[in-house]
Amino acid sequence: MASSRTPRTVRVLAAALALTFPQAELMHAQDASPDTAQAASAAREVGVITLEASDVPYSVTLPGRSTAFEEVAIRPRVSGVISEILYEPGSDVKKGDVLFRIDGDTYQADVDASAAEVAGAEAALRSAETTLSRYEKLVGTGVTAADVDTAEVDVMQAKATLSAAQAALELAKLDLERTEIISPIDGIAVLPEVSVGDLVTANQDDALTTVTRIDPIYVDVQESITRVQQTRERLDQGSLNRGERIEAELELETGTKFEGQGTFVSPPVSVSTTTGTSVVRLRFDNPRRGILPGQFLRVKLTFGTTTSILVPQGATSRASDGALTAFVYTDGKAEKRSLTSQGTYNNAWIVTEGVEAGEQLIVDGLRNLQSGAEVSPVDVVISETGVVTRADGTPDSFGGAPSSGAETGNEG
């Protein structure tokens, strides 16, 4: 009778044993699912790229404003009434083209009168020279030396009178020529400020029109003198490799890149006492007149190259203190690094400290990644648009969407 137990009694004993030895039940459960335990301890796959050192252009982008290459206010040099306007507003004019004509009747009369005075002075000079020649031949035969001296003085006076008349004639001709107001440069003439019949005066303050040349065109940019000095120091120290020339690219207000390279016209020569900046002038060819005077623009100046490592921006994040960080694969684990950068280039940070060439940078599988976590690297490639794919072409399977700056916020 003692050896016979009911099923209910057996179940009660089993429950008591389970409460007394809970670890035995846990070990039994683990032994029963070895695949599950192996999966929990497996290293996490991450996408990596091998970092390389490269010569990266060192550039700065500065605000600028365009200025006309040449601009002339057209004013009359003689007084009179405007008789003709000989150009179309907004049209191209060449150097020497007549823009306005002033009524020249009075000036023509002055030329004629001056020419008559010249003719009279020439006749008087010939008469004085003839008298002098005759007296010189008759000296001692009724003509004294004093008579000869007087005749010589008369000749000199006649020459002076002729010179004055000729000068007056030249001045009258100049005034007549100036009744035709010409353009001193090639350019575009704007709307006239006068009409036919208006009276104008010589050298008046108000311009008749303005001629502007905008091909080529100047662009003035302001640069911090501190950065100018820093760039010079880097060039002197050799950390910045000087290029053959400083390249200048122009960006329009719409963000469109302007065709053509600029050239330096004036280097920094003074510093503003209020802003600490210096003005640099550049010149750009402007055959299509895509730039007009007064436009606000952006100029990208490339001074040379610096040897750095490019780290994709999507593989980085910012720590709470603002430090730039990224993960690298080291000895089977993910290691967080703090990076020192000097700007950006083609959607990548220009890194000078924190990583080295040959190290493997983790660029995918960054979601919730912690420093020290065991990872398994997989070679990947990054497209120009920032899309990460496996190097062997197989589908991405790094446990989440491709990384981006917004997804790497976990600082571990």
What's the CA gap between 407 and 314, in Å, rounded?
A: 8
Kindly state the DSSP code that residue 206 receives in the 8-state scheme. S
Tens-level pLDDT at each residue, the chain (412 residues): 444 444 554 454 444 444 444 444 434 444 444 544 444 456 889 999 999 988 888 888 899 999 999 999 999 999 999 999 999 999 999 999 999 999 999 999 999 999 999 999 999 999 999 999 998 888 878 788 898 999 999 999 999 999 999 999 999 999 999 999 999 999 999 999 999 999 999 999 999 999 999 999 999 998 888 887 887 887 777 777 777 778 899 988 888 889 888 998 887 778 877 888 888 899 999 999 889 999 999 998 888 888 889 999 989 999 888 899 999 999 999 999 999 988 888 888 989 889 999 999 999 988 889 999 999 999 998 887 778 888 877 766 565 444 444 333 333 3
Give the end of a domain, one of 258, 290, 305.
305
| Number of domains into which the chain is organized | 4
Residues 144 and 264 in one domain: no
Q: Let me know whether 261 and 164 are in one domain.
A: no
Distance CA 242, CA 229 (A): 15
pLDDT at 396: 61
Asked whether residue 371 is assigned to any structural domain, the reply reads: yes
Q: Given this model, what pLDDT does residue 54 score?
A: 86
What CATH number did the domain enclosing 368 receive?
2.40.420.20
Torsion over CA: 350, 352, 353, 355 (sign): positive
In the listed set 246, 270, 305, which residue is the last one of a domain according to the structure? 305
Gap between the Cα atoms of 188 and 289, Å rounded: 11
Residue 398 is predicted with a pLDDT of: 64
Q: Residues 311, 394: one domain?
A: yes
**Structural domain contains residue 188:** yes
Domain match, 292 and 240 both: yes
- Continuous segment of H or E residues that includes residue 161: helix 145-177
Give residue 121's domain range: 104-178
Q: Among residues 305, 325, 342, which one ends one of the domains?
A: 305
Examine the domain organization and report whether 81 and 202 are in the same domain: yes
* 18 domain-assigned: no
28 found inside a domain = no
CA atoms of 306 and 177, how far apart (whole Å): 61
Q: Does some domain include residue 3?
A: no
**Rounded to 5 degrees, what are φ and ψ at 166?**
-65, -40
What are the DSSP E strand ranges found in 313-390?
316-318, 324-330, 333-345, 348-353, 360-364, 375-382, 388-390
Is 147 in a helix, a strand, or coil? helix
Q: Please check whether residue 159 lies inside any domain of the structure.
A: yes
Give dist(CA 76, CA 181) in Å, integer.
7
Considering only CA atoms, which of 52, 46, 50 is closest in space to residue 390? 46
Confidence (pLDDT) at 403: 44
Does 141 fall in a domain?
yes
Which residue, among 191, 121, 126, has the nearest Cα to 162 in the 3D structure? Answer: 121
220: domain CATH number is: 2.40.30.170
In the prediction, which pLDDT does 115 show?
Answer: 97
Amino acid 193: pLDDT: 96
Which of 17, 18, 38, 16 is closest to 26 using CA atoms? 18
Residues 336 and 259 in one domain: no
Closest CA relative to residue 112, chosen from 61, 168, 56: 168
